[in-house]
Structure 1
Amino acid sequence: MSATVSLLHTGYLGGAVASTVGFIRDGSRLIVTDPGMVRDRALILDPLLALGVRPQDVTDVVFSHHHPDHTLNAALFPAARFHDHWAIYHGDVWEDRDAEGFELSPSVRLIRTPGHSPEDITTLADTADGLVAFTHLWTTATSAGDAYATDLDALHAGRERVLALAALVVPGHGPAFTPTAATPR
């Protein structure tokens, strides 16, 4: 339970779209989640620099899924290992591995949570305040469904799985929220 988390950018939907971009620090691991579409790259880089982290210091980037609104700014982190549902990419090396249960660090792991897309994953960070889930199972705290989901049954099953674990949820396009009985399942 040594990880700390920050939101670099809170995403939104509507006339424009931006992903929620997260940051996790666990020892020497400096992890960015979903560095996708934002109005200006400074909206990712400035908060990162305020945390004392330069883009070249980021060790890992995790994509919840491969839609451009969650991946577009990956190249901002030239030294990072990139993680998705089935591999790690670093430089010109493609290392196959399943995301389910993969540990990026002692307090950060990945789980498969399909639904929005068949390849969705969730990043789980154990912090002093409880488990934080960076996920696209919800677009926002109040999203009951997902108009773009490829499998609503899997999405709802993934939500139940995450809600059984998480003290805080960071959705794909909105501010972090604390799950309650009213959280859409």
Structure 2
Amino acid sequence: MKFEILVPGGSIRFPPYVMAPYCTVALLSDGERLVLVEPGGFPSWEALERALKERGIKPQDVTDLVVSHVHMDHIFCSIFFANATVHVHERYREKNYAAFGPMSGPFYSMVLESWKKVQTLKDGDVLFDCVRVFHTPYHSSEHISLLIETENMGKILMPGDICYSRIEYFEYMKGYKKDAAGEFITKMSKECDWIVFSHDVPMKVGGG
């Protein structure tokens, strides 16, 4: 499948009151499927709408959504893709989202209730013959990372929020941070050509 980044991720911060992270949104396409890997958060919905319009894609054309984990900066824009099947790790069902808070609880419930078709994932699953799923519960219990074999960019690692930026990646590579997430990133970075960070621009790491 062809891989494109529609919206690079980042974060808007105005301490101590406002923090508005937004994740990288990517598109996988093969002529039959239009797959958004991470539909993204509220701050980036206009950028996503613009990117889809530029490609002649309507929200109803999107067939699948793949989410690394159920945090609002990754899932909010899923509400716009009513025809899509949402692919998410099976442990997402273990949480009581309504109890998150008097405002955040209803917010999460609204988004999750918009998911009409859900396919749960587990470690080792392969989606669309090219996306390998790794359960990496170091950021949240349902968190997954993805290794994607693409037609145009070789192998791409999308580690989600267990390694969300170049700075965190280099901290792992230099041994400043040593934990299970770091072991996974160190190993997988040797198997890929690119790392697409959730809250930073992508980085080429392989020689392909």
The TM-score normalised by the length of structure 2 is 0.72
Matched residues, number: 171
Secondary structure of the residue aligned to 2:127 is strand
Q: Does 1:39 align with 2:43?
A: yes
Instruction: Tell me how far apart the structure 2 counterparts of residues 55 and 121 of structure 1 sit (CA, whole Å).
Output: 24
Identify which of 150, 154, 158 aligns with 1:134: 158
Structure 1 residue 132: Cα displacement: 1.1
Instruction: Tell me how far apart the structure 1 counterparts of residues 52 and 191 of structure 2 sit (CA, whole Å).
Output: 27
Instruction: Tell me how far apart the structure 1 counterparts of residues 115 and 42 of structure 2 sit (CA, whole Å).
Output: 25
Structure 1 residue 93: Cα displacement: 5.3
Q: Which runs of 5+ in 1 are unaligned?
A: 146-151, 181-185
Equivalent in the alignment of 2:125:
102
| One-letter identity of the residue aligned with 1:37 | G
Instruction: Tell me how far apart the structure 2 counterparts of residues 124 and 27 of structure 1 sit (CA, whole Å).
Output: 21
Bigger relative CO (Cα 8 Å, ≥ 6 apart)? 1
Secondary structure of the residue aligned to 1:162 is helix
Secondary structure of the residue aligned to 1:142 is helix
Secondary structure of the residue aligned to 1:133 is strand
Q: Label 1:113 to 1:91 Cα distance change in 2 as closer, same or farther (>3 A).
A: closer
Equivalent in the alignment of 2:145:
122
CA RMSD of aligned residues (A): 2.6
Q: Which has the higher helix share?
A: 2
Aligned 8 A contact 2:86 2:118 in 1: no
Point out 4+ residue stretches in structure 1 off by more than 4 angstroms: 87-97
Question: Highest Rg: 1 or 2?
Answer: 2
Deviation per residue, 1:61-111 (Å, 9 max, x gap): 11111111111111111111111112899964555542x222221222322
Question: Aligned runs of 1:35-184 on 2, under 5 Å?
Answer: 35-86=39-90, 92=116, 95-98=119-122, 100-128=123-151, 129-136=153-160, 137-143=162-168, 144=171, 153-179=179-205
Q: Which runs of 5+ in 2 are unaligned?
A: 14-19, 93-111, 173-177
Percent identical pairs in the alignment equals 27
Instruction: Tell me how far apart the structure 2 counterparts of residues 17 and 109 of structure 1 sit (CA, whole Å).
Output: 26
Aligned 8 A contact 1:32 1:62 in 2: yes
Deviation per residue, 1:24-60 (Å, 9 max, x gap): 1134121112222242522112212222322111111
The TM-score normalised by the length of structure 1 is 0.80
